[in-house]
Structure 1
Amino acid sequence: MYSLRGTWMRGGTSKCWLFSSVDVEPLIEQAGSLDEILVSAFGSGDPRQLDGVGGGSSTTSKAAIVSRSSEDGIDVDYLFAQVAIGDRKVEWGSNCGNCATAIGLYALQQGLVAIDPVTTIVRLRNRNTGAVLLTEIDTPGGVVPSEGSAQVAGTSALGVPVGLTFIDLGADRTRLLPTGSVEDTVELHGSQYRGTMVVAGAPAALFDASDLGMTGAGSNTELMERVPLLVELRRATALLMGLSRPEDAITHAVPKVGIIAPPVDYRLEDGTLVTAGEYDVCVRMLSMMAPHPSIGLTSAVAVAAAATVRGGVVDRVVDGAATSTLRLGTPAGVLAVDVDIDADGNLTSVTLHRAARRIATAELFVSAAATALSIG
């Protein structure tokens, strides 16, 4: 057994354990690997993550290793980990905007950056993908906030307001469209599924909901019935996008996969009515092996980027609506994303308004490796 210091943060609608690289690196040799540290700390291999700090869901089984950056123009580097729940493995191929929101506040609270007397901007680099993000937090008088009154769709919890901006997204059309097409058709079991595949925020494959026999505005219970098909589509598009090879092990973090549909009236789980006029495009996403309770921020960025691809699945729905703000209808409500589009119609940045809060600082006592547990 060994101990590991960590900070538990909520960013938006996710919870994330943040660890300083200074604390983690000396433990890697003892544990055998960074993956082993995380799966043991989280209690993975048990669907309940009973013997660790994991929350038993994809939005609460996340971690990041954070360090002050030595790169010019970058303040903080972080390595994001999507820690599996029932399996003892970690997926390193993606990013998490909600966790980045938390890291921006963490960087201030841990003294990783100088505090501005008005507003502090932190330049973050996601080491998994190379993406650069900016967080903006009000620090009047040079004081770092510990609490705030900001709220986001999907939770009633309050937190410190954080502006999160993804930059340098779509100027390179070759990078944005990895298959070279504005729309691809995937054939499975004799049926065809039309999708637009983009790399912005995270690699994502966005399919026309009607091809799956869905309105796109149904409940996550309805979407759960399509999870096996969506998992197959994710595997097929990973190959098309060059993210994996046929002989590679199947991964569940990327590409992000979801369905797109025109706005219709729908209700949230609490019965609140969301009318078609309140949003521009209906989105339902998969998170690992289950429907996402809201939408991941990297997925939101991907949808915004896909909206600029003329003739693609998202563009057919929004029809040029993404001029300054794009409103996404999600299972948790409407998420508004501010978009910056250049004169050529390319998306250059996306800003989301989020909230973050430090929940705890703790010393974790990490046990030796355990075997995976199957719950009957």
Structure 2
Amino acid sequence: MTATDGVRCALMRGGTSKGAVFLARDLPSDPAERDELLLRIMGSPDLRQIDGLGGAHPLTSKVAVVSESSESGVDVDYLFLQVVVDRPVVTDSQTCGNMLAAVGPFAVERGLVPAGPDHTDVRVRLVNTGSAAVLRVHTPGGRVSYRGDTAITGVPGTAAPVVIVAEPSGAPLLPTGRSRDEFAGYSVTCVDNGMPSVLVRAADLGLTGAESPAELEADESLRHRVRAIRAAGAEALGIDPDPDATTVPKIVLVAPPEQGGAITTRSFIPERVHQAIGVLGAASVAAAVRLPDSVAAQVAEVPPAGEPVRIEHPTGFLDVGVAPGPDAHHPVGATSVIRTARMIFDGTVHPGPVRTRQHSGRTWPAPTEVPA
């Protein structure tokens, strides 16, 4: 493929994230070739991603790869890839529940799933984790509609709802087998209800939990402590701690609610701070709120059984329904959230040229001859 070859691509917003969505057949089958192409398409590595589709932030430098599924009872497979902004890294170490909201409409738009007369249920296998979800997409008259009255905080305006019901992943809800651990001198709860996460009380780090993402990112002492907690969490969970290799576990600061919800959160992804919170990260926090001995339950206003858990984040909140599990060993069942999505464009993207000149971890252009 040359720099002038085009690739069929949709740019979509899913929840509070934005990324490029592809059919798997439109990308190279070899993962290394695919990742090299995606770096050129998204414009990485470059802090501005000025030469690609990326939006210069982890939340807007995402890729979803969709294909028809060969698994019984599943419509489509969804592979999530995080394209790192400032390093030549593409990782499949986690999935993304926000971009998942875009997968359902995309699958119907591209003809992978026939549209129903009013709504369409799209059964999705999340390739990164092996878990499953059902997405209900608004399809009045047999066509996807993005217009509606549903508002989600962190996104301006309203749109049609996408209802996501995620089944338990099968992974242990408490990966260490305990509701409390101590990492780097801090009491934490490791929880995985779709996203491996380490929860720590903001107060234990000398914070209120209401600080802005910019304030948290500017606090170098805090970032050093968060790195230490993440390294200890990665070791305990058997995860490579290198942020170039994986973006999990997520470190989530938890604090009492500020706006009438259940709990306040600030989520590191892993160095930047989320402007909202990931869907599956919120699902993991909500599950922890329902566990009496967790650090989340210690600071939360726990809602009555059957009511959603409102997770407060820097730009608003996310309501998470957490169904009870069948027994004490499986305390959490299906998780449900409402998101919205939008097709921004569906067309052809032209990848940039291969970048080969490297110096000190940065990409530098070849010298340009200046006319005499």
Same fold at TM > 0.5: yes
Q: Distance in 2 between matches of 1:243 and 1:199?
A: 13
Q: Counterpart of 2:291?
A: 309
> Deviation digits for residues 20-69 of structure 1, max 9, x if unmatched?
1111136x59xx52211111111101111111111100100000111011
Helix, strand or coil at the partner of 1:315: helix
Greater Cα offset, 347-356 or 335-344: 335-344
1:211 aligned onto 2:204? yes
Which stretch shifts more, 360-369 or 95-104? 360-369
- Tell me if 1:182 matches 2:179: yes
Matched, 1:165 2:162: no
Give yes or no for contact 1:307–1:322 (8 Å, CA) kept in 2. Answer: no
Aligned counterparts of 1:50 and 1:319: Cα–Cα separation in 2: 44
- Structure 1 residues 343 and 81, CA gap change in structure 2 (3 angstroms): closer
Q: Percent identity?
A: 35
Q: Distance in 1 between matches of 2:239 and 2:318?
A: 28
Task: Find the counterpart in structure 2 of residue 221 from structure 1.
Answer: 214
**Structure 2 partner of 1:86:** 86
SS in 1 for 2:60: coil
Determine the C-alpha separation between the residues in 2 that align with 1:102 and 1:82: 15
Deviation at 1:320, TM superposition (A): 4.4
| Deviation, structure 1 residue 208 | 1.3
Structure 2 match to 1:104:
104
Distance (whole Å) between structure 2 residues aligned to residue 337 and residue 215 of structure 1: 23
Cα distance in 2, alignment partners of residues 243 and 133 from structure 1: 24
Whether the 8 Å CA contact 1:167–1:348 is kept in 2: the answer is: yes
Conserved in 2, the CA contact under 8 Å of 1:252 and 1:289? no
Aligned residue pairs total 351
Alpha-carbon spacing, 1:5–1:341, altered in 2? closer, same or farther (3 Å): same
Residue 324 of structure 2 aligns with which residue? 341
Structure 1 residue 233 and structure 2 residue 229: aligned?
yes
Spell out, residue by residue over 1:327-376, the C-alpha distance to the aligned partner (whole angstroms, 9 max, x if none): 1111011221122114646110111111111000121221332146379x
Aligned residue identity for 1:369: V
Q: Which amino acid aligns with 1:196?
A: T
Q: Aligned equivalents of 1:232 and 1:94: distance in 2?
A: 20
CA contact (8 A) 2:250 2:268 kept: yes
User: TM-score scaled to structure 2, two decimals?
Assistant: 0.88
1:10 deviates by 0.5
| Deviation (angstroms), 1:158 | 3.0
How far, CA to CA, are the matches of 2:327 and 2:231 in structure 1?
33
Match for 1:163: what amino acid?
V
Q: Which residue of 2 aligns with 1:73?
A: 73
Aligned: 1:296 with 2:299: no
Is the Cα contact below 8 Å between 1:135 and 1:163 reproduced in 2?
A: yes
**Contact 1:79 1:128 (C-alpha < 8 Å) held by counterparts:** yes
Q: CA shift at 1:311, angstroms?
A: 0.6
- Give the match for residue 345 of structure 2: 360
Q: Which amino acid aligns with 2:8?
A: R
TM-score normalised by length of structure 1: 0.87
Q: What SS does the corresponding residue of 2:59 show, helix, strand or coil?
A: coil
Distance, in Å, in 2 between the alignment partners of 1:232 and 1:322 is 35
**Structure-1 separation of matches of 2:66 and 2:213:** 33
**Quick one: distance in 2 between partners of 1:112 and 1:322?**
40
Give the letter for the 2:190 counterpart.
M
SS in 1 for 2:228: helix
User: CA 1:87/1:250 → structure 2, altered by over 3 Å: closer, same or farther?
Assistant: closer
Rounded to whole Å, the distance in 2 between the matches of 1:242 and 1:325 is 32
- Name the SS for the 1:291 alignment partner: coil
Q: What's the offset of the Cα at 1:310?
A: 2.7
- Structure 2 unpaired stretches of 5+: 365-372
Once residues 27 and 71 of structure 2 are traced to their aligned partners in structure 1, the CA distance between those partners, rounded to angstroms, is 20
Give runs of aligned pairs for residues 317-332 of structure 1, distance below 5 A: 317-318=299-300, 320-321=302-303, 323=305, 324-332=307-315
Report if the CA contact (8 A) 1:227-1:290 is conserved: no
Does the CA-based 8 Å contact 2:283-2:335 persist in structure 1?
yes
Equivalent residue in structure 1 for 2:253, among 244, 254, 259: 259
